[in-house]
């Protein structure tokens, strides 16, 4: 492990020199690429250097203990120092093992999230709106940007479906655990008898693909334009601004009608299509990884119930790791760090266990 870490530290130092080189700085595209690579290694190198320092201090303390003779107070003080350094060294080693786990290549990507109302009629649509606002507030907390790519709103403030992008460093690494079925238990505002209803909403989190990652043959696309529906003024009924794109080889269909411009709708639809094709390709190529993840925090499949939001008891339960928090209003206000942190830690623990076996 130490040899690998030293190689990473050497690479980090090399990158540091490169990003300070005026010739590299002049090429902003290359400079940004190297800066991102440098930043990704920063935490690992910092912890590694702390480990080597603690290792040196421990060796010095042990030597001092061997040379201090029979002075009881001195031996006790040095022994306590050795105990502290030994614990510190183990803690740093554990952190380094986590940092050396293989990274998900999608972790640094932006995401496209699809939220769809499931069972429960209007109540499911309202909860789809609640989840959309939850993720938007979470994005705000992380200084990420979000934009709606397409939506099909209900007349009472909810959504039959909504597709939106979240752009920000590490967005996928934090939000990838949100894919699955979210269940809500509450008394609907429209329910006169006060009975608790159970509704479901599906969430799919897709890493956004760059154009270079997914090769799309224009001949494989069928592009249809039509008049947008819903609120929006005269252009809704008179202008064929809405776009539907069908990828013929896979049968994947995406559409966008939120913009007045047909060109903008087409660009947004293509973003969603690229993300779906990337997800499909990676799922087919990494079936073994998907099977491994099944035992960790779930497959991320849209048919899998992952979380329940129980309004009468004010609790949120994530069924994959058995975590329950009694602060439902805060969670719906975007305070997801505790849940996502627990899912990430569980994922890391499972992968560490597998790496030892």
How many Å apart are CA 197 and CA 199, to the nearest integer? 6
Asked whether the predicted pLDDT for residue 353 surpasses 90, the reply is no
Under 8 Å between Cβ of 124 and 183: no
Q: What is the pLDDT of residue 230?
A: 56
CB atoms within 10 A of CB 119: 13
Q: What is the pLDDT of residue 336?
A: 96
Q: What is the pLDDT of residue 298?
A: 45
How many Å apart are CA 222 and CA 111, to the nearest integer? 25
Q: What is the pLDDT of residue 174?
A: 93
Q: pLDDT tens digits for 135-189?
A: 999 999 999 999 998 888 887 888 999 999 999 988 999 999 999 999 999 988 7
Query: H helices of the chain, where?
Result: 2-18, 22-26, 28-67, 72-99, 122-141, 171-175, 234-238, 262-285, 287-294, 328-332, 337-356
Query: H helices of 142-189, where?
Result: 171-175
Q: What is the pLDDT of residue 234?
A: 41
Q: What is the pLDDT of residue 263?
A: 86
> 273: helix, coil or strand?
helix
Q: What is the pLDDT of residue 236?
A: 46
- Write the CB contacts of 312 (distance below 8 Å, at least 6 apart in sequence): 185, 186, 187, 196
Q: What are 13's two structure tokens?
A: 């130092």
Q: What are 256's two structure tokens?
A: 């966008």
Q: What is the pLDDT of residue 72?
A: 85
Q: What is the pLDDT of residue 287?
A: 60
Q: What is the pLDDT of residue 257?
A: 83
- Edge to edge, the sheet with strand 180-186 lists 145-153, 159-167, 111-117, 197-207, 180-186, 305-310, 315-318, 323-325
Asked whether the predicted pLDDT for residue 203 surpasses 90, the reply is yes
First to last CA, the chain: 16
Asked whether the predicted pLDDT for residue 235 surpasses 50, the reply is no
Of 327 and 2, the one with more pLDDT: 327
Q: pLDDT tens digits for 13-57?
A: 999 999 999 999 998 888 988 988 898 889 899 999 999 999 999
Give the best-scoring range by mean pLDDT among 7-16, 60-69, 348-357: 7-16
Asked whether the predicted pLDDT for residue 247 surpasses 70, the reply is yes
Q: pLDDT tens digits for 270-302?
A: 888 888 888 887 777 566 444 534 443 444 444
> 342: helix, coil or strand?
helix
Q: What is the pLDDT of residue 296?
A: 38
Angle between helices 72-99 and 337-356 (to 10 degrees): 100
Positive or negative: CA dihedral 156, 162, 165, 166: positive
Of 355 and 32, the one with more pLDDT: 32
C-alpha torsion 137→143→144→150, nearest 10: 40
Under 8 Å between Cβ of 223 and 254: no
DSSP letter at 245?
A: E
Confidence class for position 101, pLDDT limits 50, 70, 90 = confident
Query: pLDDT > 70: what percent of the chain?
Result: 88
Q: Give the DSSP H/E element, type plus range, for residue 203.
A: strand 197-207
């Amino acid at each position: 492990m130490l040899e690998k870490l030293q190689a990473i530290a050497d690479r980090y130092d090399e990158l540091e020199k490169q990003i300070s080189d005026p010739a590299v700085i002049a090429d902003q595209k290359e400079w940004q690429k190297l800066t991102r690579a440098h930043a990704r290694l920063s935490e690992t190198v910092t912890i590694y250097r702390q480990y080597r320092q603690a290792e040196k201090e421990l060796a010095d303390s042990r030597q001092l203990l061997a040379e201090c003779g029979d002075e009881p107070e001195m031996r006790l003080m040095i022994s306590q120092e050795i105990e502290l350094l030994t614990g510190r060294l183990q803690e740093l080693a554990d952190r380094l093992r986590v940092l050396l786990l293989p990274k998900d290549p999608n972790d640094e990507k932006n995401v496209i999230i699809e939220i769809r109302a499931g069972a429960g009629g209007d109540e499911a649509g309202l909860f789809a709106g609640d989840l959309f606002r939850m993720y938007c507030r979470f994005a705000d907390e992380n200084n990420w940007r979000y934009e709606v790519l397409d939506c099909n709103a209900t007349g009472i403030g909810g959504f039959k479906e909504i597709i939106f992008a979240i752009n920000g460093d590490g967005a996928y690494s934090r939000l990838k655990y949100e894919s699955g079925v979210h269940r809500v238990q509450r008394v609907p505002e429209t329910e006169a008898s006060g009975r608790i209803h159970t509704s479901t909403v599906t969430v799919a989190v897709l890493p956004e693909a760059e154009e270079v990652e997914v090769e799309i043959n224009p001949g494989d696309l069928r592009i249809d334009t039509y008049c947008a529906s819903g609120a929006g003024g005269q252009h809704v009924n008179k202008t064929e601004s809405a776009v539907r794109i069908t990828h013929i080889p896979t049968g994947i269909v995406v559409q966008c009608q939120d913009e007045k411009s047909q060109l903008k709708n087409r660009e947004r639809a293509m973003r969603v299509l690229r993300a779906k094709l990337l997800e499909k390709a990676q799922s087919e190529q990494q079936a073994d990884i998907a099977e491994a993840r099944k035992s960790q925090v779930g497959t991320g499949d849209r048919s899998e119930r992952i979380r329940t939001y129980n309004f009468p008891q004010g609790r949120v339960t994530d069924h994959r790791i058995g975590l329950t928090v009694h602060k439902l209003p805060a969670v719906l206000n975007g305070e997801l760090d505790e849940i996502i942190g627990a899912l990430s830690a569980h994922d890391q623990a499972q992968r560490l266990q597998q790496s030892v076996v």
